[in-house]
Amino acid sequence: MEPGNQGSVKRKEPLHHARSSRYRPERRSDRSVRHLGYGQGCHWANERARYRKAHILGQSMGGMIAQELAIEVPSRVSKLILCSTTCGVKRVPPSFRMIKWLMRKNAAYSPQDTLNMLYSKAYIQENPDLIASLVERMQIAPSNPRSMEIHREASKNFDSYHRLGRISAPTLIIHGEDDWVFSPKHAKILNRRIPGSKLILFPHAGHGVFLQEHRKVLEEIHRFVD
């Protein structure tokens, strides 16, 4: 990959980041980022009428919400970035590791289990300070069983496969080659079904590619939206 511009980025359109409710978005001077919870996404276009258009970035569950926005209100989406997501979990058989993870009781409620889902053992061992910081944040605002059950059901029932052809916004798809939550096959389906989309796969990165390869991912995003 060629290095991108790491300086200030000026945009006419704000960048909205759709992610799951356990994460808080950053706010930066050169962009406007707003958290979109599941079920709220398609109401954003009408409620935020002051924005004529916006760049939409969605990661994992947020990527499903972002797809809904691009499909249902295409006139409000300038560019679309889908990270570590799927058009439907049933479209690709789950990995053996994912099956084992789903069968474990309360696995999603442990910070260590969540980190194991996002990152490889090698990455966790090589970045102890970062991992400790993430564990601390998860302990401050832990997930509750009800929220995780709703999240799981929403993921299981989501399917945009037959509607992806309606996405007209330029689309960038970012995925980790070692993602066992949503294997790279999910990203390749999105790439085939969304007209004119671009797929970038990051080697040795898992479901947490956005953080693991943060600098490179931001370079690709900046290059895409400029």
> How big is the chain by its Cα radius of gyration, in Å?
17
Residue type, 105: K
64 in Cβ contact with 58 (< 8 Å): yes
In eight-state DSSP terms, residue 93 is P
Query: Which structural domains are found in the chain, ordered by start?
Result: 15-93+159-225 (3.40.50.1820)
Distance CA 119, CA 114 (A): 9
- pLDDT band of residue 151 (cuts 50, 70, 90) is confident
Highest mean pLDDT among 29-38, 72-81, 110-119, 131-140: 72-81
Per-residue pLDDT at 108: 53
Alpha carbon distance 37, 21 (integer Å): 6
pLDDT tens digits, residue range 184-195? 999 999 999 999
